[in-house]
Amino acid sequence: MGFIFSKISKLWSFICRMATGEEEEVFDFPKTLEEFKFYFNKEGQLRNVETDEPFNFVVDPDNHKYNQKRYEALGNIITDHVYKLLEDHKLKRVKIPVVVDDEPEEPTSFFYMSEDALEKDKLLILIHGNGVVRAGQWARRLIINDCLDSGTQLPFIEWAFKEGYGVIVANTNYNKANDKKDGQEIKYSETPEDHMECVWKNFIHKSKASAIGIVAHSYGGVVTLELAKNHIDEFWRRVFAVALTDSVHSFHHQNGDESVIHFYTERAKNWASSLDELDTPIETYSDYCPTVAAGTDKHEYTSYSSRFSIFKFLSEKYREMTEPGGEKAESSEKESSVKKEAEETAMSQDISASQIDVEMNSQNPDESQKEEL
């Protein structure tokens, strides 16, 4: 209701301005963090250069619009600051769509990727939610009012590097030229789902990674489910875990089929906002994804509050998929057993082993999937 009221209020304000000929007030705000007189201290907290006080939203009690526009201007600066932090962590900006030299110049989006991401055997993909957040952010409000660790994806990136992962940081909300509301739509990145599909097809699909983990927050869960639907066979082969934080995905509305549902029950988990203690199981009647408490009832804080549980989950799922006794090993053992039975039967029926191989391959074009599916 609040969202609808906000839209109606903005529409009414626009109509009134048009009727009276009144132009919308334009404010001129600083363009850099230094000009705003803010800095991040050693704890990653945003502080005023002169007073060392935290950010204060209300600077003009009689002008809410000014306060809001000032906050948004600072938010845009924060976005650029986080981009720089990603680059400081040795992630490079990669443009999409992939441009061919003889194609006419079109607006581009981008995402971030560690330098050797496509060569690594392990890959971690980070997908933020919807709205104003951009690559590297979970929640702008936390960056401004709490700290960089809670509001950005840096703790996840640092953990991934420590564990030997390549990293891809999606930028799914960068959908228009120069990131402007009235900008031209970017081809193959018109929506968050389109953006992620483009990154998958042109980069992740072509990478050498045999083990891919995904961490997605809020609407990022919707994006991930669409990706799983489009590439479920590849998900079974390569994606060992999907960690969601307060995801808003819906198997019903997104038409997830049995294979996708099975994948989520086996390899995904959602850490949802809740008053319960961290990792307490939560009953869900409309979702097939195992769900536990994130250790906070604040939506935007769920990624940070559950990070250590997510790291543990990713490590456990990776071992299940890759170590003896894990899913791949079990699948291989069952496959060998089935083949042995077939060979014994064949011997009694004078069927050659080579014929059996042909039959098994024709029935199971992708051997690595058959047990899971």
Within 8 A by CB and 6+ apart from 325, the residues are none
- Which one of the listed residues 114, 150, 189, 218 is annotated catalytic? 218
**How high is the pLDDT of residue 11?**
58
Distance separating alpha carbons of residues 212 and 242, to the nearest angstrom: 9
Q: What is the phi/psi pair of residue 135, to 5°?
A: -50, 130
Q: Where are the alpha helices (DSSP H) in the chain?
A: 2-20, 64-88, 140-145, 148-151, 154-162, 192-199, 220-230, 232-238, 258-267, 302-305, 307-322, 327-348, 353-363
Is 218 known to be catalytic? yes
Could you tell me the pTM of the whole model?
0.81
Is residue 134 domain-shared with residue 253, that is, in the same domain? Answer: yes
Tokens found for residue 123:
């890959």
Determine the number of helices (DSSP H) and then strands (DSSP E) in the chain. 13, 10
Q: Which of 67, 88, 109 is the last residue of a domain?
A: 88
Is residue 229 domain-shared with residue 347, that is, in the same domain? Answer: no
Tokens 């600077």 locate to 59
**How high is the pLDDT of residue 105?**
80
Which of 239, 196, 250, 251 is CA-nearest to residue 214?
A: 239
Is residue 141 domain-shared with residue 47, that is, in the same domain? Answer: no
Distance separating alpha carbons of residues 176 and 211, to the nearest angstrom: 32
Is residue 80 domain-shared with residue 100, that is, in the same domain? Answer: no
Is residue 147 domain-shared with residue 33, that is, in the same domain? Answer: no
Domains of the chain: total: 3
Is the distance from CB of 184 to CB of 103 less than 8 angstroms? no
Is the distance from CB of 257 to CB of 229 less than 8 angstroms? yes
Is residue 300 domain-shared with residue 222, that is, in the same domain? Answer: yes
Is residue 63 domain-shared with residue 112, that is, in the same domain? Answer: no
**How high is the pLDDT of residue 330?**
44
Three-class secondary structure of residue 130 per DSSP = coil
Tell me the pLDDT tens digit for each residue of 227-267: 999 999 999 999 999 999 999 999 999 999 999 999 999 99
Distance separating alpha carbons of residues 27 and 221, to the nearest angstrom: 36
Positions in the chain short of pLDDT 70: 1-24, 100-104, 325-373
